[in-house]
Amino acid sequence: MTSLREKNRIRTMRETQRSALEMFIDRGFTNVTVEQVAEAVGLSPSTVYRHFGTKEHLVLWDEHAADIDSALGKRLGVQPPLDAIRDALVESLAGRSGDEGRLLFQRVSYIYATVELHAAAVEADFRSRDELTAALELVLPVERRRAAPVLAGAAMVALDVALDRWRTSEGSQPLEDLLVEAFGTIIELGTIGVWRSPAR
């Protein structure tokens, strides 16, 4: 169960992110400082840095990242790897609606449109790929573990393609459909041949 302190922390980060994104879109990313964001939301700059680490992560931070990890953990070792990753992403990303869905679309669009943020997102993707590789190595048969970084890289590419198509469609195409399509292309190319279901 999430503690009251943690709930308050997440709420503060959510409100700070929304305010920061509005300021960045209105004035430009390079024209807004962390100090200005902090002042706008009534926090000290040190508190903002403690929560987010960097200015870029005011936009990159996703409060549901832990939900994706949890959904993936339940699926890896049960489903083929790419199916597991796809379904975990669909459950977390495509399941957002209303204000949450609009915020996600705003964030994705702004990240792709802003050089500094896109560079930071690419760096974050490399870290995610490494973490995903480690998770896959735990569930793949020993003789297939060399495929883990290939599968992880393919999954990150599929996610990037789906998000970019969602952005360029102005959100008119459901993100769920775009994720399924992108992962389906990779799966059809045979990249899940490394999967072997657990012995029963």
Indicate whether 194 belongs to any domain.
Answer: no
86 and 182 part of one domain: yes
Residue 52, amino acid? F
145 and 171 part of one domain: yes
39 and 109 part of one domain: no
Residue found under tokens 């009251």: 4
Indicate whether 155 belongs to any domain.
Answer: yes
113 and 177 part of one domain: yes
Enter the pTM of the model.
0.88
Residue found under tokens 């902090």: 38
CA 178 to CA 25: how far, in whole Å? 26
The total number of residues shown for the chain amounts to 200
Residue-number span of the structural domain to which 93 is assigned: 62-188
Indicate whether 138 belongs to any domain.
Answer: yes
Q: How many domains does the chain have?
A: 2
What does the DSSP 8-state code read for residue 147?
A: G
85 and 44 part of one domain: no
Output the domain CATH number for residue 21: 1.10.10.60
Average pLDDT for runs of 10 along the chain of length 200: 86 97 97 98 97 98 91 94 95 85 95 96 96 96 95 96 96 94 89 50
27 and 77 part of one domain: no
